[in-house]
Amino acid sequence: MITIKMKNVAGDFAENKDIAKDIRINKLLPALEKEEDVTFDFDGVSGATQSFIHALISDALRKHPDTVYDKVFFKNANEDIQKIITIVYRYMQESM
């Protein structure tokens, strides 16, 4: 299982999509291919943009629909971040 401390990589406000892309390509997708659990820990992160969350997880939702819902976890996400993650989860499922 891998845990990614989002504050350390994305800062207090997660908006930099280059960072989201880097996490997706180098950590999230390889872990899902090995069916490993991935936890995104948002402790200390005050907010995130929809673009950031989309760049982080939409590809995993599309490419690993059989594993992503059981293997990816979001820890310490505040209500705003939870809402944005939920929006991305919902519209990605709606669009597939």
Partner 1 sequence: MRIYFSNQGNLRYFGHFVQRLDFDNPNKLEIVTDERWVNVHPAHLVLTAALANKVGKENSEIISNVPESARYLDRMGLYNFVKTPSPFGSYERKDPSGRFIPITIIKNSSGQSHFITEMVPLLHLGENDASTIKYIIGELVRNVLEHAYADSGAIVAAQYFKNTNRISLAICDAGIGLWKGLKIWHPRTDEDAIQLALTPGISGTTRKEGGTSENAGAGLFFIKSIAKTTRNNFAIYSGDAAYVLKKTRPDQKKPKLKANPFEDSCVRETGLARFDGTLVAVDISLDTTVEFKQMLDMIGNVYEAAIHERKERKYREPNFI
Q: Does 68 bind partner 1 (CB under 8 A)?
A: no
Say which amino acid occupies 52. Answer: F
Q: Does 76 bind partner 1 (CB under 8 A)?
A: no
Q: Which of 9, 17, 37, 67 binds partner 1 (CB under 8 A)?
A: 17
Binding residues for partner 1, rule CB under 8 A, total 33
Which one, 4 or 48, has the nearer CB to partner 1? 48
Cβ density class 46-84: b for 16+ within 10 Å, e for less: eebeeebbbbbbbbbbeebeebbeebbebeebeeebeeb
Question: Minimum CB separation from partner 1 for residue 9, in Å?
Answer: 12
Could you give the dihedral angle defined by the CA atoms of residues 47, 23, 62 and 73, in that order, rounded to the nearest 10 degrees? Answer: -60
Note the residues at the interface with partner 1 (CB under 8 A): 11-13, 15-18, 21, 24, 46-47, 49-52, 54-55, 58-59, 62, 79-80, 83-84, 86-88, 90-92, 94-96
